[in-house]
Amino acid sequence: MAGLDNGLNFLFDDDESRIVNSLPFDPLKDLALMAQLERENDGVQFSHTAEEQLRGQLRAGFILRDIYEDTNGEGFLHEHNVPCFWATLAVKEACHG
């Protein structure tokens, strides 16, 4: 099982009322983003596309069995039923040889 952020949370300010960043969110390529994370004591975080996340699992030999989306659980995006997280159930078949 892998839990993933689809990147939407990186777009918005804390109260989810306005877009303040663009995607991809990569603080290694944008020092202003790194400074923002440091001010908020958030550690280093990145956004990734579904393509990057799923392709990585598939190329590593995993088989996608299920997927689940979820909201933040509160806030503007949640009130509009915007999923910001998803989880995949992926399995890797045992090699017999």
Q: Mind listing the pLDDT tens digit for each residue in 39-86?
A: 999 999 999 888 999 999 999 999 999 999 999 999 999 999 999 999
pTM for this prediction: 0.75
- Model confidence band, residue 93 (pLDDT cutoffs 50, 70, 90): confident
Question: Tell me, what amino acid is at 32?
Answer: A
Distances (CA, A) of 92 to 58, 59, 60, 86: 9, 11, 9, 19
Q: Distance (Å, rounded) from C-alpha 59 to C-alpha 63?
A: 10
Residue 65 contacts residue 90 (beta carbons within 8 Å): yes
